[in-house]
Amino acid sequence: MKEEGGKLSAPYGLWVKGLRVWSRRLAWMAGLMLAFLGGCQLLAWSPLLSLRRVEVVTDGVLERREILQWGGVRAGDSLLRVTPGEVRRRLESHPWVERAWVERRFPSTLHIRIQERRPVAKVLVDGMVFLVDSSGFIYPAQERSPVGVRLTLSGLKEEDLRTRPEDCKRVVLEALSLASLVGQRGKWNVEEIRVDPDKGLVLALPEGPQEVLLGFGELAQRLDRLERILEHLSKEGRTKDVVTIDLRHPRRATVRFKG
């Protein structure tokens, strides 16, 4: 607002003066921000920060080339543009990778450490070979032959894995518990356990019988009953005549003989 004679009033003049000061400050700050962003862009593409070295450490069988492909890591990329969290997520999407650690080491190194899954059994699914670790995670075997894995779990169907993953995991974990209990007793050399998400476990003994129906739960008690039954059959000399022993009922055992 103007006073008489065309002069600015004192409050209006102070407001205009303050506006000019803030305008200059904002322009200065905008210029500084643009310079900073431009410097970051130059730094991001600077050869001084290009990825020249990738250190890969794994405790399993995955090859370096495969790890780099899954992580999306390429030599020559700007280290500033490599996001460790994103690389880690891509690596942990690999079915053989349990955990991954990714660290940038400036100016030009990326360090990757991989913890691979440890297969404890093979899983046969409709003619395909999968692996399972101690947590019950089932994953493709690919073309690798696991070393030291003797136990085979058979009986699952591909449709079960796709539509009932939790049921499959439950019966597989039950089978792994059974294998551990059998190993602790040291009486039988069991290399295969048949699994069924609905009916439970079926144990095949090399010396016979080839079908011991165990169902779910109370595995230690069922193995105790199996030992007593086999001892009795051995004394009578009838072990080789047994086709099936059904221990699924908690208080009853059914033994079926040949013929």
In one-letter notation, the amino acid at residue 195 is V
pLDDT at position 127 over 60? yes
Whole-model pTM over 0.85: no
Both tokens assigned to 111: 């360090």
Average pLDDT along the chain: 85
Question: Exposed, middle or buried, 173 (CB in 10 Å: 0-12/13-18/19+)?
Answer: middle
Q: Of the ranges 33-37, 97-101, 137-141, which is most confident?
A: 97-101
Q: Which residues are bridge partners to 54 per DSSP?
A: 110
In one-letter notation, the amino acid at residue 222 is R
Place of tokens 């699994």: 195
Share of the chain above pLDDT 90, in %: 58
The pLDDT of 4-28, averaged and rounded, is 60
CA distance 157 to 236: 39
pLDDT at position 238 over 50? yes
Model confidence at 168, pLDDT cuts 50, 70, 90, reads very high
Q: What is the pLDDT of residues 128-167, one digit of tens each?
A: 999 999 999 999 987 766 677 889 999 999 999 999 999 9
CA distance 62 to 116: 8
Residue-wise DSSP of the chain:
-B-TTSPBPHHHHHHHHHHHHHHHHHHHHHHHHHHHHHHHHHHHT-GGGB--EEEEEESSS--HHHHHHHHT--TTSBGGG--HHHHHHHHHTSTTEEEEEEEEETTTEEEEEEEE--EEEEEEETTEEEEEETT--EEE-TT---TT---EEEEE-HHHHHH-HHHHHHHHHHHHHHHHHHHHHTS----EEEEETTTEEEE--TTS-SEEEEESS-HHHHHHHHHHHHHHHHHHT-GGGEEEEE--STT--EEEE--
Q: Which fold has domain 119-257?
A: Rossmann fold (3.40.50)
pLDDT at residue 162, as a whole number: 92
- Please check whether residue 190 is in contact with residue 223, taking contact to mean a CB–CB distance below 8 angstroms: no
CA distance 8 to 104: 60
CA distance 18 to 173: 74
One CATH from 3.10.20.310, 3.40.47.10, 3.40.50.261, 3.20.20.140 for 47-116: 3.10.20.310
